[in-house]
Amino acid sequence: MDKKTLLIIGREFITRVRKKSFIVMTILGPLLFAALIIGPAWFATMEDREVRVIAVIDSSRLFIDKIPETEYLKFDYLENTTVREVREKFPETDYYAVLYIAHIVTSTPSAVQLMSDRPPSMNIRMHIANAMEKEIERQKLAAYDIENLDAILAAVRTSINIRTIVWQDDGSQVESHSELAIIVGYIGGFLIYFFIFLFGAQVMRGVIEEKSSRVIEILVSSVRPFQLMLGKIVGIGLVGLTQFLLWVILSAAIIFATQQIFFSDLAVPSSENIVIEDMFSSSTLQQAQPVEEADTQIFREFLASVSAINFGVMLGAFLFYFLGGYLLYASLFASIGSAADSETDTQQFMLPVTVPLILSIIVMMNAIMNPDGAIAFWFSMIPFTSPIIMMARIPFGVPTWEIALSGGLLVGTFIFTTWLAGKIYRTGILMYGKKVNYAEVWKWLRYSG
């Protein structure tokens, strides 16, 4: 780049990083991202300490003392009373809710009501429903006069947790985590969509503001229009890149600090140890996990799944597809801004540019659910949709040749669209007061001078 283009890049960069909006978003972004990562795990380790007592009116007499209590959930079985009587005295009691079980519960499972002066929590509903389902199943099986029924039920009750193992080319094996890959792919694709729209629109608005204030006339007297357009695109792109890198650094620092302060006692198992663990060990030989350690185990498994992701590859792919996608669309946004006198006039030109981006978000859901499908493959090759779709596919593993082909097409298309945008920009930035249509833009493209 020549000296004049570098001066324009520096002007655009410094002007925008000094804005309060840039500083505020740079601080809020990592906090929101860290909260998104840590929040679910944090809440999973927190328990509701409030003791709740539920009054039980069991007309069937089948569930007396059969619903298990917990440290914070108790059941008081009432006899010789009705729901109406309990409701009248409910405000004077300490009951959290009233559970009514009709005598036809075995034939009509919906004949169970949990009543309160406020909506009961989902956890309590699920706890009661699961306990009653198991008890009804046990009683129905008991009708067949099976001996040692409880022992048989305990022996046959099985929980399946399917773990996915990926064989590497070097002979090693790594455990994959599809759920986390879906989350990472969706967040990566959506961030690219967000950044392209955000900073692309900034390019367009910047061109319109300079054009309407006639500052552009002074600038083009010193630099060529193409230099001005390229400097504005690259300068704003560097602002976006700087903000993203600051987000990554600050988010990583916040997450690491939070883990060390609040979860320092949780050892994160390595992926290798998880994979090598004996898959065929008998479940009857394993000790039941204490209840108080269940939440800790959930968070430990979450940290293990996070550590299994190659964030170096993800970061490199994000930077490439963000820059490629931004440069492609920013050149189009710059040409739209040069052809319009106000943001209102840009509406007729925005549709062809925004449709591929919106379509990418729609197709991204299909790509996440079926990353190796034909739809995901072809949309990850089309340059106007590849930044978002390929970013969504990469956490699941994409062959190197597909990434190289997608990247090559993206770079080639960016160069071509920048050349076209330069021809539109060169003529459009000096046009005032004239309503521009597609026919007029086509004429600008055909100018050879």
pLDDT in tens, 349-402: 888 888 999 999 999 988 888 888 889 899 999 999 999 999 888 888 788 899
Residue 171 falls inside a structural domain: no
Contact 140, 153 (CB under 8 A): no
Q: Are residues 327 and 392 in the same domain?
A: yes
Binned at pLDDT 50, 70 and 90, residue 46 comes out as low
Both tokens assigned to 89? 């005295």
Both tokens assigned to 342? 């106000």
Residue 118 falls inside a structural domain: yes
pLDDT of res. 239? 87
pLDDT at 3 over 70: yes
Q: Are residues 317 and 384 in the same domain?
A: yes
Q: Are residues 99 and 199 in the same domain?
A: no
Q: Are residues 87 and 65 in the same domain?
A: yes
Contact 340, 368 (CB under 8 A): no
**Count of CA atoms in the C-beta half-sphere (13 A) of 218:** 5
Q: Are residues 408 and 310 in the same domain?
A: yes
Q: Are residues 262 and 292 in the same domain?
A: yes
pLDDT of res. 433? 63
State which of 156, 190, 212 marks the end of a domain.
156
pLDDT of res. 287? 40
Q: Are residues 246 and 298 in the same domain?
A: yes
Residue 164 falls inside a structural domain: no
Residue 430 falls inside a structural domain: yes
Q: Are residues 204 and 152 in the same domain?
A: no
CATH number of the domain that 131 lies in?
A: 3.40.190.10
Binned at pLDDT 50, 70 and 90, residue 290 comes out as very low
* 318 compared with 40, residue with greater pLDDT: 318
Residue 170 falls inside a structural domain: no
Q: Are residues 198 and 286 in the same domain?
A: yes
pLDDT tens per residue across span 410-442: 999 988 888 888 777 777 776 666 677 777 777
State which of 123, 156, 189 marks the end of a domain.
156
Residue 168 falls inside a structural domain: no
Q: Are residues 204 and 245 in the same domain?
A: yes
Q: Are residues 111 and 136 in the same domain?
A: yes
Q: Are residues 401 and 275 in the same domain?
A: yes
State which of 94, 125, 156 marks the end of a domain.
156
Both tokens assigned to 187? 């967040």
Q: Using the Cα atoms of residue 440, residue 441, residue 446 and residue 448 in order, give the sign of their dihedral.
A: positive
Residue 185 falls inside a structural domain: yes
pTM, full prediction? 0.63
Q: Which of 303, 231, 236, 233 is nearest to 268 (CA)?
A: 303
Domain count, the chain: 2
Residue 208 falls inside a structural domain: yes
Domain hosting residue 115, numbered range: 52-156
Q: For the chain, what percent of residues have pLDDT higher than 90? A: 8
pLDDT tens per residue across span 200-240: 888 888 778 777 766 666 666 677 777 778 888 888 888 88
